[in-house]
Amino acid sequence: MTNETIIKPDRETADETKAGSYFVSNYPPFSAWNEKDVACLPSMLNSPSPGSAPLGLYYHVPFCRKRCHFCYFRVYTDKNSNDIRRYLSATMKELRAYAEAPYLKGRKPKFVYFGGGTPSYLSAQQLTQLTDEMKSILPWDEAEEVTFECEPGTLSEKKLEAIKNFGVTRLSLGIENFDDHILETNGRAHRSKEVFRAYEFARQLGFDNINVDLISGMLEETDDNWSDCIDQVIDLSPDCVTIYQMEVPFNTTIFKSMKEQGKLAAPVADWRTKRRWVDEAYGRLESAGYTVSSAYTAVKNPEKTKFIYRDRLWSGADMVALGVASFGHLGGIHYQNLTHIDQYCETTESEGSVVRRALLTTDEERFVRELILQWKLGVVRPSYFRDKFGIDILARFSEVFEEWRASGDLIAGEDELRLSRAALLRVDSMLYRFFLPQHLDLD
């Protein structure tokens, strides 16, 4: 068996889960990014005029206690304290180089995001020293949101105090499931008792926004287990609930096992089941007072509970990306850093460029990117695209919208195009209708 077809159109995500990527995280596709455009980034950074878009900062922590069987990110489970110190030092050297660039001169982040890997893998002391240094290089005092991803088993009250003290406003707990057998089967490092302990500590410390992550369709998940997970979430009453539908990208241990066995279908729930489970979750969360705010999130108080990182990025914000394999976006240029930690550290230490690939986007690509990503919110406003890009999406995509209306997927209102719940739950498989022709066959 070879790396078969990437999941794209909805007819391929209506039944069994095949190997490949379904979730659309950016546009143009990553396979369009290239080495040639890498030179565009320093040229733009050294241009005399600073950028005007809202600025964000992403910091990648690539360390984990275990690698989950469904994980496709760049993570390491075998690094010692010297390796970690070296990495943290390299990222600060990278940040200093960005902070000195004319394009970023005088600008401060409006949002900061610590992702991974497992940011909470670092000790309280490491986190405090790291963030103190980051703030001295690029101050956060204007940040509207600081998000921090956590694996519950790595959290103690002392570490959560440190996380709160350096300014985190949005704490995201990667729970995924509450059943210990399913957590173990899927390679998760934590267990349910650690979830409840960490959550109680976080509530006592008064974090502004606590998010919990779930995954619909994990290995060996059942109807009863899923229903119990929703019960547990409602009992916890977090500010935000994020639910992803399980997919099996090629660089996961699940796919490796499939390949060895010559199987095309993944040993997880099919797409209809996963969507039914998410629909059930959203319905019950709405009955408990939550509002569905995107294809993946439900919030308790939409006026108070925001996700600035997502909303800014999906509206064209700049974002400096720090660390191995991290993705950034500056001045219309997408870029990704080197994907191996030793190479990343060595290159940073020698003051070389750590950017591996990039893409200088056109105005047309930037328009399509924002349209595609904002569909994930479930609501698109034609006036936004007319005012920002001078494009009437109602005219340009009239055929698509008419088809969606006829099938019940789209409800049109006053300056509003809203997806039905059924369409929202499969939105990623619908977004290819907006891809430019040169990107339709790319991964």
Q: Look at residues 251, 281, 312 and tell me which one is the last residue of a structural domain.
A: 312
Average pLDDT, the chain: 94
Q: Say if 84 falls within a structural domain.
A: yes
pLDDT at 265: 81
Here the tokens at position 187 are 């390679």
Q: Say if 397 falls within a structural domain.
A: yes
Q: Say if 7 falls within a structural domain.
A: no
Rounded CA separation 214/70 (Å): 13
pLDDT at 442: 72
Q: Look at residues 312, 333, 354 and tell me which one is the last residue of a structural domain.
A: 312
Domain shared by 226 and 133, yes or no? yes
Domain shared by 422 and 296, yes or no? no
Please tell me the pTM assigned to this model: 0.95
Q: DSSP letters along 171-187, please? A: EEEEEE-S-HHHHHHTT
Q: Domain containing 381: what range? A: 363-443
Yes or no: say if 29 and 83 are a contact pair by the CB < 8 Å rule.
Answer: no
Domain shared by 250 and 375, yes or no? no
**pLDDT band at residue 443 using 50, 70 and 90 as cut-offs:** low
CA of 66: how far to CAs of 16, 63, 76, 144, 192, in Å? Answer: 28, 9, 8, 32, 16
- Tell me: pLDDT of 264 over 80: no
Q: Look at residues 312, 327, 350 and tell me which one is the last residue of a structural domain.
A: 312
CATH assignment at residue 374 = 1.10.10.920
Domain shared by 368 and 305, yes or no? no
72-79: average pLDDT? 88
- Tell me: pLDDT of 149 over 90: yes
CATH assignment at residue 251 = 3.80.30.20
Q: Say if 9 falls within a structural domain.
A: no
**pLDDT band at residue 19 using 50, 70 and 90 as cut-offs:** confident
- Tell me: pLDDT of 6 over 50: no
* 185-219: pLDDT as tens digits: 999 999 999 999 999 999 999 998 999 999 999 99
Rounded CA separation 183/178 (Å): 7
**pLDDT band at residue 1 using 50, 70 and 90 as cut-offs:** very low
State how many domains the chain has.
Answer: 2
The distance in angstroms from the start CA to the end CA of the chain is 18
Domain shared by 370 and 258, yes or no? no
Q: Say if 238 falls within a structural domain.
A: yes
Yes or no: say if 364 and 358 are a contact pair by the CB < 8 Å rule.
Answer: no
Q: Say if 267 falls within a structural domain.
A: yes
Domain shared by 130 and 206, yes or no? yes
Q: Say if 131 falls within a structural domain.
A: yes
* 376-388: pLDDT as tens digits: 999 999 999 999 9
